[in-house]
Amino acid sequence: MGTSTSSSGGRAGSPLDPAWLPADGAGGTDSGAGEGQGDDREPADGADQDGQGDAATQREDLAPSRRFAPARTSLSTYLRTGDKTHLGAAIGSAVRKGMGGPRRAASTMRRTAQGAAAVGEVLTGLRERDTPQFQNLVQRFQTEGLSIQDLILEVIKEALPSSGSIDEDSVQDAATEALSEFFEQHPDADPLALSDDQIQEVVAVTIANDIMHRLDQQLGQTYERLKLDPVQVQVRRNEAKEYVKAVVQVERERAGKLPTDLQTFASSVLASALEVFSEP
């Protein structure tokens, strides 16, 4: 099931965004709010005067009834059969209906992009060493002779010092997992001198891992309720994870070279991947 705790999903009428997520505009970031909430939509006559516009926005911010039910049905079929068509349908439904559409999902998951970007910024700082902060960190790491796993923990601590909410813990786990996977696959890579492409890979895999965590949280009871061989379930989940990573990897490549603004890069990769997942 992964690192995140599953749930049965929010009840109908509960907010789409969790209570601990700070407000960031009317239901979204600058990249957009929930589907159907574009700025070019004309308000109804008198909406601003009588508050009807606010009421409509509030309704759109609330979860519909059984919003993850179609996704769980498709996931159940995938787990039983291994047919990846149903895996795509499950993830697509989770984004479109369960999370309120790709734009809303990207807004709700903005901590994912922020956390992935923060990890990339620390890795870049360790390589460039152009500030006293990173010069001191590199000197300490070299003096202490840290193992790769210890160094990963130090990078996570530097990039993501806060924790406590589900979102924060989830992105910490996603980034730790991404760095561990990276150094398993690239044992000769110098963690204090990663290339732009290598940093880009870590950022993208962090995003993919956290998308998978989100799916685990919302659809995880499907794994638990089906009486299937646990080994088979784990194989299916690993396949799902690889599928998510493959989609994010494509969007990472489309984003081009690593920009100076890692936050924009991470947000763009997350948003475009969610758009792909939401396609019927």
Residue 25 lies in a domain: no
Of the candidates 47, 68, 148, 61, the one whose C-alpha atom is nearest the C-alpha of residue 104 is 61
| Residue 218 DSSP code | H
Domain enclosing residue 220, as ranges: 72-280
Residue 120 lies in a domain: yes
Q: What pLDDT shows up at residue 47?
A: 41
Helices (DSSP H) in the chain: which residue ranges?
47-50, 52-60, 69-81, 84-93, 102-108, 110-128, 132-144, 148-159, 166-185, 196-225, 230-254, 262-278
Q: What pLDDT shows up at residue 230?
A: 85
φ/ψ of residue 155, rounded to 5: -65, -45
| Residue 146 DSSP code | -
pLDDT in tens, the chain (280 residues): 344 444 444 554 455 555 545 555 433 333 333 333 333 333 333 444 444 444 444 445 655 668 899 999 999 999 989 999 999 999 999 999 999 999 999 999 999 999 999 999 999 999 999 999 999 999 999 999 999 999 999 999 999 987 678 888 999 999 999 999 999 999 999 999 999 999 999 999 999 999 999 998 888 777 677 778 888 888 999 999 999 999 999 999 998 776 678 999 999 999 999 999 999 7
Residue 57 lies in a domain: no
3-state class (DSSP) for residue 32: strand
String of b and e for 211-225 (b: at least 16 CB within 10 Å)? bbbbbbbbbbbbbee
Residue 180 vs residues 63, 74, 160: alpha-carbon distances, Å = 36, 31, 16
Number of domains in the chain: 1
- Find out whether 8 and 221 touch, Cβ atoms under 8 Å: yes
Residue 8 lies in a domain: no
Cα–Cα distance measured from residue 6 to residue 90, given in angstroms and rounded to the nearest whole number: 16
Measure CA 186 to chain center.
23
| Residue 169 DSSP code | H
Q: Is the dihedral of CA 209, 215, 221, 225 positive or negative?
A: negative
Of the candidates 19, 33, 209, the one whose C-alpha atom is nearest the C-alpha of residue 113 is 209
Task: Answer yes or no: pTM beyond 0.75.
Answer: yes
Q: What Rg value do the Cα atoms of the chain yield, rounded?
A: 20
Residue 59 lies in a domain: no
Of the candidates 68, 60, 66, 64, the one whose C-alpha atom is nearest the C-alpha of residue 28 is 60
Q: What pLDDT shows up at residue 42?
A: 35
Q: At what angle do helices 196-225 and 69-81 cross, to 10 degrees?
A: 90
Residue 46 lies in a domain: no
Residue 198 lies in a domain: yes
Q: What pLDDT shows up at residue 136?
A: 96
3-state class (DSSP) for residue 15: strand
Cα–Cα distance measured from residue 58 to residue 124, given in angstroms and rounded to the nearest whole number: 41
Burial-class residue 226 by CB neighbours within 10 Å (0-12, 13-18, 19+).
middle
For residue 50, the one-letter residue type is: D
Task: Please give the structure tokens belonging to residue 107.
Answer: 């807004």
Residue 13 lies in a domain: no
- Bridge partners of 32? 29
